[in-house]
Every structure is written in structure tokens, then in C-alpha cells.
Amino acid sequence: MVEVTVHHDTVVFTVRGLHKVFAFKSELTVPRSHITEVRADPEAAKHIEGLRAGGTSVPGLVTAGTFYLDHQGSHKPSFIDVAKPENVVVITLRDEEYQQLIIEVDDPVEVVAQLATSG
């Protein structure tokens, strides 16, 4: 699971618990202005197919880490941290290492509202 915190002009995505080990990453910091879209999207977590470039994928249990997704059409990877698809938020980025974040959060509605008004 990922905790999302807005600090002025930046958003910090903190990977919690054992997911740090699964994802090979504990935190991402992104300028607010680099977030181009935010949406709650449980279906996105059900279609994670592609090349794992560091992380863990145990179908039905957890998918976490850096992935080059088949359907992306970009040379940039996505960062994924999902155990419960119903709590997934997809965040599209520009000018960042990752094209998008597909992350499980505690309250998707709250995170979408928070990031949609943070720019």
C-alpha cells in the first residue's frame, strides 16, 4: 500500500510495510505540476502485463515494482504497488522517470480528490 502526502508543490508517495521489499522502493517524490491525470481505476490492476524490471509479481497476491507494460506504448516504465485492486489509483505523469503510478491506497476517493485539487 502507498500513502500519499501533499507538501506544497510536491507529492510524496510512501510505500508502506513489506511492500517496500516487494517493490524495491520506499518513496517517490513528484512535483504537483508533473501529475497530468488521477483516477480511481480498479480495472487497471487486473491488466498488468509486461516486463518486470525490478520488483515482485505473485498473481492474486501482490504486484509491486517497476514494470514496462505491454499496452503502454511508451519507453518509460510504470511503478506499481497493488495487492487489493479495489483500492487502486492510477496517476499519469509527465517529465518523470515513470509514465504512471498504479498504486493501492487506503481511500481512493480521498486521494483522487486531494490530487485533483492540488495543482
- Bridge-based pairing of strands 78-82 and 100-104 is parallel
Q: Please give the Cα distance from 33 to 31 (Å, whole number).
A: 5
Q: Could you read off the pLDDT of 56-115 as tens digits, one per residue?
A: 777 777 888 888 877 666 678 999 999 999 999 999 999 999 999 999 999 999 999 999
Q: What is the pTM of this model?
A: 0.87
What is the Rg, in whole angstroms, of the alpha carbon atoms belonging to the chain? 13
Domain ranges in the chain? 2-116
Q: What gap in Å lies between CA 75 and CA 88, rounded to an integer?
A: 23
